[in-house]
Amino acid sequence: MEKAEYERMFQKLSEAVTHLTANTLKQETQINAQNAHIAALKKGKKVPEPEPFNLDGGTTLPEFFIIFEDYCTDLYGNTKKDAWSPVLKKYLEGEVQQAYIGLKGGNLKWDLLKSTLSEQFADTVQRIKNFKILFNNLKKEESESMLAFSIKVTRICKNAHPHYGIVEISDMTKNKFLEKLPYDIAEKMSIKLVDEDLAGIDYSKIVTWAERFEVMSTKTIIVEAANKISISASEPSVQTAAAVKPNNSIVPKVVCTHCNKAGHSQNQCWTLDPSQKPIRNNNANRGSFNNNNYTRGNFNNNRGAANNNQTNNTRRCYSCGVYGHLANACPNRQQYGNFQSQQNNQPFQNGPRAAAVFNTNRQCNVCKAQGQNFHVWQKCPMVLNLHANTANAAVTTDQTATTDLNLQPYAALNM
Which pLDDT tens digit goes with each residue over 177-220?
A: 999 898 888 888 888 888 888 888 899 999 999 889 888 875 55
pLDDT at 51 over 80: yes
Q: Is residue 80 part of a domain?
A: yes
60-69, 138-147, 166-175, 345-354: range with lowest mean pLDDT: 345-354
CA distance 176 to 173: 5
Amino acid 360 reads T
Residue 317 sits in the same domain as residue 256: yes
Give me the phi and psi of 255, to 5 degrees please: -120, 130
pLDDT for position 224: 56
Residue 101 sits in the same domain as residue 30: no
Q: Which domain holds residue 208?
A: 125-216
Among the three residues 320, 337, 359, which one is the final residue of a domain in this structure?
359
Q: Give the global pTM.
A: 0.33
Residue 111 sits in the same domain as residue 166: no
Most confident of 124-138, 221-235, 303-317, 345-359: 124-138
10, 18 contact by CB (below 8 A): no
CA distance 203 to 158: 14
Q: Is residue 167 part of a domain?
A: yes
Average predicted confidence (pLDDT) for the chain: 73
Domain count, the chain: 5
378 pLDDT band, cuts 50/70/90, is confident
Q: Is residue 233 part of a domain?
A: no
39-48, 61-70, 139-148, 159-168: range with lowest mean pLDDT: 39-48
